[in-house]
Amino acid sequence: VLSVQVMCVQIKCFHEIITIGYNVYHSYDLPWFRTLSWYFLLCVNYFFYGETVTDYFFTLVQREEPLRILSKYHRFISFTLYLTGFCMFVLSLVKKHYRLQFYMFGWTHVTLLIVVTQSHLIIHNLFEGMIWFIVPISCVICNDIMAYMFGFFFGRTPLIKLSPKKTWEGFIGGFFSTVLFGLLLSYVMSGYRCFTCPVEFNNDTNSFTVDCEPSELFQLQEYNIPVLLQSLLGWKTVRMYPFQIHSIALSTFASLIGPFGGFFASGFKRAFKIKDFANTIPGHGGIMDRFDCQYLMATFVNVYIASFIRGPNPSKLIQQFLTLRPDQQLHIFNTLKAHLVDRGVLGSLEDA
Amino acid sequence: EVDLEERLHELDLRSDSDIPDVPPPTDSTPEILKKALSGLSARWKNWWIRGILSLAMISGFFLIIYLGSFMLMLLVLSIQVKCYHEIITIGYRVYHSYDLPWFRSLSWYFLLCVNYFFYGETVADYFATFVQRREQLQFLIRYHRFISFALYLIGFCMFVLSLVKKHYRLQFYMFAWTHVTLLITVTQSHLVIQNLFEGMIWFLVPISSVICNDITAYIFGFFFGRTPLIKLSPKKTWEGFIGGFFSTVVFGFIFSYFLAQHQYFVCPVEYNSETNRFVTECEPSELFQMKKYSVPPLLQAVLGWETVNMYPFQMHSFALSTFASLIGPFGGFFASGFKRAFKIKDFADTIPGHGGIMDRFDCQYLMATFVHVYITSFIRGPNPSKLLKQLLILQPEQQLSVYKTLKSHLVEKGILQPSLRG
């Protein structure tokens, strides 16, 4: 259900930014152009969803013959679809409007890059475990709100010429509150399996399940408090989830770099002389206005997970393995076996 | 001082008339050529210059092929950097933004970041043994994505901090221009290099098919051209298009036939850590072993043969040549439209008679992506050594479960005998 929501937000953001492009360039009546933008959005979404679906619904896909073919030649099919759009664009070039059309083409592609890739990274994070979706997004929102409140009560030194309302006091106050908030929220969420387990598709029940043995990230551990803080807090050790340490990294990013996404959007609005992206939400402006700070957060979380939390997805590896030739499969199998024996994980005799 | 913001806002962007015409490019033909051709009329002189330069480029290309894959990789890299530079320079000219603070440095910085990211991914794959030995490289590889992202973020933040009050829109335009250019030039060049590592034939045949299609379509158009193809490029004709298609297919067939016989072209490029060189030595895959094919009855009458000995690769070359002839020209039309939109005759004057590097490579644009997608979809699956590397990074419990799954699969398929010591 959440993925459907993410998808809707993505489509709305895309629509908002493209509409701004139309307004800037007075190009609403360009032949074909509206159709082409939506077509490209469809293509890129098809490509990304196809990749995700193949990874996570592997067994389901293997069972259904048409799905299997679609997934085997997925890249080729997506590329062909994109090419069709590209050729239509070239054929639609009209003599007096070349530049406009190229601008809109460029505008569409940059928007796709920003909006669609971010939304797919969010969905990847979501499948990793809802906590990886909820904690980052809440940290950004919390930072927004806290920075505003601190700025309101204590704000004195302006932060950046671009957004005159932001102040250093708000920035720093927001930073500390967000880190604290992140720690507390992760503590509460780590206790529940429905948040910490990767989302899996159960073939037997044909539904999504979040049931697993919580990984060590989500098991309480004793940490020694550094000497400096001991006197402050009065405790010698503290029981925390390892995930909370990661939440510090996430909150720090949300507070320090997230605002740059906001400045980017402010600069964009100033550049194109618009007050808000759209009027979808009364009092808040468009959807993009709410999500501008999230922009970089999703990418960061995804890169963070891939670099520090887990390696590649084992089921994806198995899937790739099965497409290799038998001699390659045997070679890899033997190398893996030797490695496992080496590490002592596998005894030198076969065990069931 | 004229407020650039206001000026841009007032421009009527509905027509293309507000772009100032670019002054005619300086003539960069070398003196010696000029002297030799001084007797000819202007039209023939242009022909000769183009012809000589084409020959020079093609010979240079052959020389570099001879020198090996590493030189080819460097060549691809230099072409990429030059294309990027050409397109960015056009952007500066269009927007009169050459003096924007920071912007030139930022464009080059982003180019560096994206190249670092892509080269890190490819280099790590192919130089696995080399990398394993060095401790510092190990660290860089393990956290490669994170490091690349951090570098990109720094550039992004610098961009935000560099926004200057009166030039917001210009700066955003240049930011977007940079990103689209990166998307076009850098990703293509890396796909080209990946194709190259698959086997030089996957690099040579597509590129030559596009060049051949260019040349033969021009020749057919010159001699037989009558029906215009598309309003965008008035010089292109249907006769040229169709003639070019058939000649390119035939050329592809013949060229692949010759290349498929040499291991140098057919084998995946590997890095030999002992000799510290690139080697292309292997057992040619079945794609490059002669097979007997039955000629379909329709062609039997025409050719008079019942069976023919061909390399399976030649069937693939048929697909590649078809793409080069049918879709490649769209890349050319795209570039023509782009030049018309921004009122430039050529991308730059790097090559006398031919214009800039981009002019030569505009049709290649989509070809590299197609070849890459084609290879991954139809020719081979994922790279085994990359797969192995990823397996080794997994947690021991995950490795064990993967091991068990693989074992049961292999036993099922009869590849592995179920015995006590497998």
d(CA A191, CA B179) in angstroms, rounded, equals: 42
Chain B contact probe: residue of A93, A316, A324 with most B CBs at under 10 A = A93
Cβ contact, residue pair A333, B406, below 8 Å:
yes
Residues in chain A closer than 8 A to B335 (CB atoms):
none
A33 and A73 in a common domain: yes
Q: What is the pLDDT of residue B356?
A: 56
Residues in chain B closer than 8 A to A336 (CB atoms):
388, 391-392, 399, 402-403, 406
pTM, two decimals, is 0.77
**A295 domain residue, yes or no:** no
Q: Which residues pair with A201 in a beta bridge?
A: A208
With beta carbons less than 8 A apart as the criterion, state whether B265 and B204 touch: yes
A223 and A342 in a common domain: no
B172 and B235 in a common domain: yes
pLDDT grade for B258, boundaries at 50, 70 and 90: confident
**B1 domain residue, yes or no:** no
Three-state DSSP class for residue A31? coil
Side-chain half-sphere of B255: how many Cα atoms within 13 Å? 25
Residues in chain A closer than 8 A to B366 (CB atoms):
83, 86
What is the four-CA torsion angle of B256, B257, B261, B266, rounded to 10 degrees? Answer: 20
**A306 domain residue, yes or no:** no
By Cβ distance, the residue of A27, A307, A318 closest to B145 is A307
Q: Is the pLDDT reported for residue B111 higher than 70?
A: yes
Q: How far from A43 is each of A7, A36, A74, A247, A332, CA to CA, in Å?
A: 14, 10, 12, 35, 35
Q: Which of residues 166-205 of B touch A (CB under 8 A)?
A: 168-169, 171-172, 176-177, 179-180, 183
Q: Which helix (H) or strand (E) holds A342?
A: helix A326-343
B400 and B377 in a common domain: no
Cβ contact, residue pair B160, A264, below 8 Å:
yes
Q: What is the pLDDT of residue B380?
A: 66
Q: What is the pLDDT of residue B2?
A: 40
Q: Which of residues 229-288 of A touch B (CB under 8 A)?
A: 257, 260, 263-264, 267-268, 270-273
Three-state DSSP class for residue B255? helix
**A303 domain residue, yes or no:** no
CA nearest A327 in B: which residue?
Answer: B415
B396 and B335 in a common domain: no
Tell whether A220 lies on the interface with B, counting CB pairs under 8 A. Answer: no
Give me B49's structure tokens. 């210059």
Q: pLDDT higher for B380 or B22?
A: B380
Residue-wise pLDDT tens digits, B232-255: 777 788 888 888 899 999 998 888
**B57 domain residue, yes or no:** yes
By Cβ distance, the residue of B149, B384, B422 closest to A324 is B384
The secondary structure of B277-324 as a DSSP string is EEE---PPPGGGS-EEEEPPHHHHHHH--SEEEE-HHHHHHHHHHHHH
Q: Which residues pair with A223 in a beta bridge?
A: A238
How many C-beta neighbours within 10 Å does residue A202 have? 12
Q: What is the pLDDT of residue B50?
A: 72
Residue-wise pLDDT tens digits, B12-54: 343 444 444 444 444 445 555 556 655 556 666 666 777 777 7
B326 and B407 in a common domain: no
Query: Which stretches of chain A score pLDDT less than 50?
Result: 349-352
For B53, the domain range is 26-100+164-253+319-381
Q: Is the pLDDT reported for residue B5 higher than 50?
A: no
Among residues A274, A291, A326, the one where a domain terminates is: A274
For A333, the domain range is 314-351
B390 and B336 in a common domain: no
Q: Is the pLDDT reported for residue B324 higher than 80?
A: yes
Burial A262-278 (b: 16+ CB within 10 A, else e): bbbbbbbbbbeeeeebb
Three-state DSSP class for residue A195? helix
Q: Which of residues 64-93 of A touch B (CB under 8 A)?
A: 72-73, 75-76, 79, 83, 86-87, 89-91, 93
Q: Is the pLDDT reported for residue B1 higher than 50?
A: no
A156 and A37 in a common domain: no
A181 and A169 in a common domain: yes
Q: Among candidates B221, B253, B202, which has minimal Cα distance to B367?
A: B202
B401 and B363 in a common domain: no
Dihedrals φ, ψ of B176, to 5°?
A: -65, -40
Cβ contact, residue pair B421, A349, below 8 Å:
yes
CA distance B173 to chain A (A): 9
CA nearest A311 in B: which residue?
Answer: B394
Q: Is the ipTM, as predicted for this complex, more than 0.95?
A: no
A93 and A164 in a common domain: no
A319 and A255 in a common domain: no
Residues in chain A closer than 8 A to B394 (CB atoms):
311-312, 314, 317
Among residues A128, A144, A177, the one where a domain terminates is: A128
A140 and A44 in a common domain: no
B377 Cβ contact list (under 8 Å, min separation 6)? A72, A73, A75, A76
Among residues A128, A154, A186, the one where a domain terminates is: A128
Residues in chain B closer than 8 A to A272 (CB atoms):
169, 172
Q: What is the pLDDT of residue B342?
A: 78
Tell whether B376 lies on the interface with A, counting CB pairs under 8 A. Answer: yes
The secondary structure of A266-307 as a DSSP string is HHHHHHTT-SSS-SSBTTTB-HHHHHTTHHHHHHHHHHHIII
CA A183, chain centre distance (Å): 21
B198 Cβ contact list (under 8 Å, min separation 6)? B268, B375, B379, B380
**B96 domain residue, yes or no:** yes
CA nearest B229 in A: which residue?
Answer: A91
